Structure 1
Amino acid sequence: MNDADTMVLPRLGSAEVGVEDPWGEDDPPRPRRSTARAAARAARWRVAAWLLPALLMGGLGGAGLGTAGPRAGEGTTWRAATSGWPDALDDGPVPLVPYHVLMRGWAALFGADPATLRVPSLLAMVGAAALVGALAARMFAPGTGVLAGLLLAALPVSTRCAREAQPYALAVFAAVLATWLLLPVLDRPRARRLAAYAAAVVLLGLCQVGALLLLAGHGWVVLAFRRRVAGRWLAAAAPGALAVAALVGSGVRADGLFPPGARIDPAALAATPRELFGAAALGATLAGLALFSLPLRRPAAICTAWALVPALGLLVVAGAAPVWSPDALLFTVPAWAVLGAVALSRVRPGRASS
């Protein structure tokens, strides 16, 4: 039995006979009058796909970086950064120890005033916006990459993450990096690529243990599109997950793996779009746009799994413990930005008028 016999969804990039393609994405590219000019233009767009989002994110995030005093939720980070090394290891839940060690070392090098402690978060969000742009450009088109990166940078929740000395921004960056490194694994799962992906998984778990729910989305993609590499993917993902599990220890309760949350109920679910994206209208708009990024046979399925599968996993955990929190799903926001950009990029005047 081969992949085609058991595949949940068709392979990435495969042309399918008899399947409707309403967006014209399988159409062959039109011939260019000047190949050199087209290549130069494409190169400029590829640079813009990561540069423009990085500049916007840096400007929006850096504007409020110097707000006086630790904000709500930053107190633990500030105490870990200003205390001795033993206290930095003992302060707060075990899953936060790697972040607190990082911030203690950062404070030793650059100081511990609130603005300085927020710089790692700002840098992480700038990197995430740039990498999202490059990822969407790689999966779809350079113009889509520009839109995706700018959408992520413009979201209020991205600005908030960039201005807070908390581990969420680093987890967002690590999630984008892991997904970026998943693509070459799906293509050709060589040892070097698998090792790079495994390192990104370790980084993701050290930044935010609950963000390892992303592996459920990645696993779905592997089973759907490249089932033949499932064993090698699992071998790459498992060490990172096991390393984090060893750090956390078997005695940690489920609610120690996620940000403080609530038991699942209709009110908590209804408040999620507003808290996750910064405004309920933005959440509804991105969800609506995401519907137009389908069909799932396109690479948009990767971002669909990234956006939805971890949320479903958290929903299952929240049925047994009070862990439902939009903050636990911040690492999925880049996926929503890419899906929204894909939908917007499909609005073509010429096609709409035909």
Structure 2
Amino acid sequence: MMDADTMVLPRLGDAAVEDPWGEDRPRRATARAATAAWRWRIAAWLLPAALTGALGVARITASAPSAGELATRRAITSPWPGIGAALTGDEVALGPYHLFLRGWAALFGAADLALRVPSLLAMIGAAALVGALAARIATPAAGLAAGAIFAVLPTSIRYAQEAQPYALAVFAAVLATWLLVPALDRPALRRLMPYAGAVLLLGLCQPVALLLLAGHGWIVLAFRRRVAVRWLAAVVLGLLPAAALLAAGLRDGGHLASGVRPGAAVLAATPGDLFGVAVLGGVLAGLALFSLPLRYAAAICTAWALVPALGLLALAQAAPVWSAANLLFTVPAWAVLGGVALSRARVAGAVAVLALVALLAVADQLPW
């Protein structure tokens, strides 16, 4: 298979059949059109960030600390155990986060609001990058729709308001994918090094989220094999510190992540746990189908959404690591696929679907 922007499907004649939405056709841009496009690209990341911030701040202190947050508070307020013990505790994934939050609490205090602010900031950054990524691989309209979908999801709001590492892992996953696109198109050192840094951040936030690299690897092998060696070198550079930390923690008796073994009931409940409302999972899956065919842009997020989930399912056969929280870093991919699909629809239809998503999300937040 040659490097190309279309997978193994052959051309069937007229380009309009293969590219029904005209996404690959060259566009002539006047100065006025270029200025308007620039403004829309800014809006594609700015508006989702503002929406996420507004929804995340609302009632951020209303809920009592969860069991995970109470464990976090105990870990960061207990006597200093030394950096080695702090990094390789019972759950290896939480060590770097607890170390970071200990320093944060020293600066800003250990009140509920102070401990939740890093998660809020991470989700705001993730929403901005979701919009920017969709705008980069598709259109600014797709960026606005994707960012809006991500911002209103109940799990986005929930984890923006919890002192847990999952929001930081979501941000790192979106950042890594956002950096992957230009790095694969023009694999210079100045693009690969930031990508390696994002991989490092992802591994420190949530080691199990490194399954994202399986999705990235599939994209490289399917579409950009000529840069595979350079991509792999960047991945190894980013993985080494996280791998060393993970190996030390597991050797000392720690475990990779909290979760269960995936039985039928657990798997059936995953869409509801992952998106906040099971119906929302169905809506996003339906929208994702309209992001096909598997062109390069859509395939990036298709691999991000599906390959890590399959990898975690395989890993969970050996260790109890299956949980929706461990798959939270795939949610932005579903939002981007949904945004790309809506950008191809008529405005009225896109607005109606966004309203439905928002309605379902709000209904989940209301006390009954």
Global fold match (TM > 0.5): yes
1:25 to 6, 22, 35: 22
Work out the number of aligned pairs and report it.
341
Cα distance, 1:276 vs. partner? 0.1
* Cα distance in 1 between the residues matched to 2:210 and 2:45: 25
CA contact (8 A) 1:68 1:114 kept: no
Equivalent residue number for residue 78 of structure 2: 83
SS at match of 1:86: coil
CA contact (8 A) 1:11 1:226 kept: no
Cα distance, 1:185 vs. partner? 1.4
Amino acid at match of 1:71: S
Structure 1: tracts of 5 or more residues without a match: none
Relative to structure 1, is the Cα distance of residues 255 and 280 closer, same or farther in structure 2, using a 3 angstrom cutoff?
farther
* Cα distance in 2 between the residues matched to 1:339 and 1:264: 26
Deviating more after overlay: 150-159 vs 233-242: 233-242
Equivalent residue number for residue 51 of structure 1: 46
1:70 to 41, 60, 65: 65
* Cα distance in 1 between the residues matched to 2:293 and 2:63: 47
Give the alignment of 1:304-343 within 5 angstroms. Answer: 304-343=302-341
Cα distance, 1:27 vs. partner? 6.0
Amino acid at match of 1:196: P
Deviating more after overlay: 69-78 vs 56-65: 69-78
Higher relative contact order (CA 8 A, sep 6+): 2
Equivalent residue number for residue 121 of structure 1: 119
Relative to structure 1, is the Cα distance of residues 22 and 196 closer, same or farther in structure 2, using a 3 angstrom cutoff?
closer
Equivalent residue number for residue 256 of structure 2: 257
Per-residue CA distance 1:221-250 (angstroms, 9 max, x = gap): 000111011111111101222321110126
Relative to structure 1, is the Cα distance of residues 95 and 333 closer, same or farther in structure 2, using a 3 angstrom cutoff?
same
CA contact (8 A) 1:95 1:247 kept: no
Q: Percent identity?
A: 64
Cα distance, 1:22 vs. partner? 5.7
Give the alignment of 1:270-285 within 5 angstroms. Answer: 270-285=268-283
Give the alignment of 1:277-296 within 5 angstroms. Answer: 277-296=275-294
Equivalent residue number for residue 128 of structure 2: 130
Structure 2: tracts of 5 or more residues without a match: 349-368
Relative to structure 1, is the Cα distance of residues 27 and 168 closer, same or farther in structure 2, using a 3 angstrom cutoff?
closer
Amino acid at match of 2:239: A
CA contact (8 A) 1:127 1:173 kept: yes
Equivalent residue number for residue 343 of structure 2: 345
Deviating more after overlay: 68-77 vs 320-329: 68-77
Equivalent residue number for residue 239 of structure 1: 237
Equivalent residue number for residue 154 of structure 2: 156
CA contact (8 A) 2:91 2:254 kept: no
Cα distance, 1:73 vs. partner? 1.4
Q: Give the TM-score normalised by the residue count of structure 1.
A: 0.90
Q: Give the TM-score normalised by the residue count of structure 2.
A: 0.87
Task: Give the CA RMSD over aligned residues.
Answer: 2.4
* Cα distance in 1 between the residues matched to 2:249 and 2:205: 20
Amino acid at match of 1:74: E
Relative to structure 1, is the Cα distance of residues 333 and 75 closer, same or farther in structure 2, using a 3 angstrom cutoff?
same
Equivalent residue number for residue 166 of structure 1: 164
* Cα distance in 2 between the residues matched to 1:95 and 1:172: 14
CA contact (8 A) 2:260 2:321 kept: yes
Amino acid at match of 2:156: S
Equivalent residue number for residue 366 of structure 2: none
